Amino acid sequence: MTEQDAKELVRRYLDLMAERRVEEARACLADGVQIVFPGEFRTGELNDIIDYGRTRYTAVRKHYREAEAYAMADGAVRVIQQGTLHGITLKGARFDGIRYVDIFLVRDGRIERQEVYNDVAESGLVHQ
């Protein structure tokens, strides 16, 4: 898989998840995928991500900024997707401009790992 193909796969996956097209998004993932969020939340199930989000927001979306991809020596491609989050908290407060970085490991046309980093905790957002 080329670096460009890996970036396109990641963007497709993120778009599908934003649209809650879970079955289609799942097709982008390798068996045994590892998805890691800030704190202790780890999963391999997409419905767990949606449920987790419901404990923090009534709505959340991503503004994409840039994506970089790097071919690894073992044939995998690492994709780094950056941007900002926007949405509505559980208490109805609107937010925008919360930085995020998602790091993906793509191998054989599927996402093996996603690591999520963001400034949600620093922003105090979950308490608004």
- pLDDT at position 125 is 63
> Where residue 54 sits, what CATH number does that domain have?
3.10.450.50
CB 113 within 8 A of CB 6: no
Strand (E) positions, 1-128?
29-36, 42-43, 57-71, 77-89, 94-107, 110-118
Per-residue confidence at 126, pLDDT binned at 50, 70, 90?
low
Residue-wise pLDDT tens digits, 36-87: 998 889 999 999 999 988 888 888 999 999 999 999 999 999 999 999 999 9
Q: What is the mean pLDDT of residues 91-105?
A: 94
Q: What is the mean pLDDT of residues 94-98?
A: 92
- pLDDT at position 5 is 98
Residues 77, 79: Cα–Cα separation, whole Å? 6
- pLDDT at position 124 is 67
- Residue 127 vs residue 64, higher pLDDT: 64
What is the total count of domains within the chain? 1
Residue 38 DSSP label: S
Range with the lowest mean pLDDT among 8-17, 49-58, 82-91, 93-102? 49-58
- pLDDT at position 120 is 76
**Nearest residue to 100 (alpha-carbon basis) of 122, 81, 126, 114:** 81
* Pair of tokens at residue 128: 């608004």
- pLDDT at position 39 is 84
The reported pTM is 0.91
**Segments forming the whole domain that contains residue 28:** 3-127
**Nearest residue to 15 (alpha-carbon basis) of 92, 76, 70, 67:** 67
Which residues have CB under 8 Å from 104's CB, separation 6+? 6, 10, 78, 79, 80, 81, 111, 113, 114, 115
Which residues have CB under 8 Å from 47's CB, separation 6+? 22
